[in-house]
Amino acid sequence: MNSKQRVLATVNRQPVDRTPIDCMLYQKQFVENLAAQWGSREEFLDDFGIDIFAGFVPYPNQFGRKFDVTELADIRLNDPRNPQWITHSDWNYDFAGVNVAQAVEWYGDKRAIRAHLWGIVEGTSTFLGIEKCWLNLGMYPELMMAWFDRYADWLCGLVDNCIDAGVDLLTLSDDWGSNNTMLFSPRMWRRMIRPYTERVVQHARSRGVPMMLHSDGYLMPVMDEIIEIGFDLIHPIQESAGMDPQTIKEQYGERIVLYGSLDVVDGLLAYDGEALDEYIRHRFEIYAPGGGFIYCTGHFVQNDIPPLRLVRAYGLVLAEAQKFGTR
C-alpha cells in the first residue's frame, strides 16, 4: 500500500496497513536547522514514512493593502481558475512551503497531495485585518454576508483549480475556536459562516475530493454541525484549548477522520525523551484503534524545536503507526 492509497483508504474507512503520518515541515528556519543538524526535509519525509505533502495557495488579498468593510462589494478578485493561484511563488521570508502545482509535480506520484485554502473568515481577514474582521461580523453583518456569498463562490472555483491540478484532498483553513470557547457565538456561526462554508465543502464533495477543516481552538459546540456540513477530516484537535482526546474519539471518531495529536507547543516543545515518548504513545492509544486517524503535528514545526527531538519523536511515531493497521 502506497501513501496515497493509505490516506484515501483512511478517509474512506477502508482497511489500511498502518496509521498514515504527516508532519508540517513548512517553516523555513526549522527546515534549515534540520538540514544543518540531521538531513534534508526530503530525507525526513522518506525515512519516517510521511504520507502527505501540502501545496499552498496564496492569500486571496493580493492587492497590497487592507480594505474597509464598505469597500468589499467593489473588490474584484481575479479568476480563481487562473493558474496564478496554483503557481504562486512570492512567499514570506520564513515560509518553506510550495505551491499546489509544485507539490503535485514533486510528490504526486508518491504521496497524497493536500491543497491548503483560506476559509470564509480567515480569507476575509486578509482584506480587513483580523480585529476589524471580528468587529465587522457584529457591526455590519449584512455587508459581511454579502461578501461571504461572493467569496464562497470564488472559493468553489479555486477548489476546481486545485482538483484539476491533481490534488487528493483539500484543507479549508478557518480558525473558529479559542480557549474553551469559540471566537464568536455558535448562533452567529450558524447564521453567518456555516452556510457559505457548507457551499464550498459540498462543492468539493461533488467533485469527489475530501475536505479537511483546519481550525484551532475549542469547537465542541458545533462539532456535530461540522460533520453535517460534510467535512471529512478535522485538524488539529487542540487539547490546550479544551478539546479532550478521549471525548473526541468516543463521540466523533466514527464520523470524521481525526488529523493531528502532536501539539507543537504543549507536546513537542514541552516534552523531551521518555516524557515525549509517553505523550506520543498515549495519543496513539486513544486515537488510532479502529482507524479514522492521521498522525500529524498541530501546526508548522517552529524553529524553537530542536531538530533531533523531532527526528527521535518521528522514529517512535513510525513504529507506533505500524501497530495500528486495520486489515
Write down the domain spans for the chain: 3-321
All cell numbers assigned to 314: 518521528
Dihedral pair phi/psi, residue 90, rounded to 5°: -90, 75
Dist CA 7 CA 112 (whole Å): 7
Q: How far is CA 192 from CA 10, 119, 144, 174, 286, in A?
A: 32, 13, 8, 13, 34
Band the pLDDT of 311: cuts 50, 70, 90.
Answer: very high
pLDDT tens readout for residues 34-50: 999 999 999 999 999 99
Which of the four CATH numbers 3.30.430.20, 3.20.20.70, 3.30.1490.100, 3.20.20.210 does domain 3-321 have?
A: 3.20.20.210
- 232-260 residue pLDDT tens: 999 999 999 999 999 999 999 999 999 99
CB 213 within 8 A of CB 236: no
Rounded to whole angstroms, the Cα distance separating 18 from 321 reads 5
Q: Is the Cβ–Cβ distance between 275 and 250 less than 8 Å?
A: no
C-alpha–C-alpha distance, residues 219 and 199, integer Å: 20
Backbone phi, psi, residue 140, to 5°: -135, 60
Closest CA to 283 of 312, 261, 298, 259: 261
Pairing assessment for the beta strands 233-235 and 52-56 based on DSSP bridges: unpaired
pLDDT confidence bin for 177, thresholds 50/70/90: very high
Which residues are paired to 112 by β-bridges?
A: 52
Is residue 58 within 8 Å of 88, Cβ to Cβ?
yes
**Is residue 327 pLDDT above 80, yes or no?**
no
Alpha helix (H) ranges present in 108-259?
Answer: 120-128, 130-139, 141-165, 186-188, 194-206, 223-229, 245-252
Distance of CA 26 to the CA centre of its chain: 12
**Residue 230: per-residue pLDDT:** 98
* pTM of the shown model: 0.97
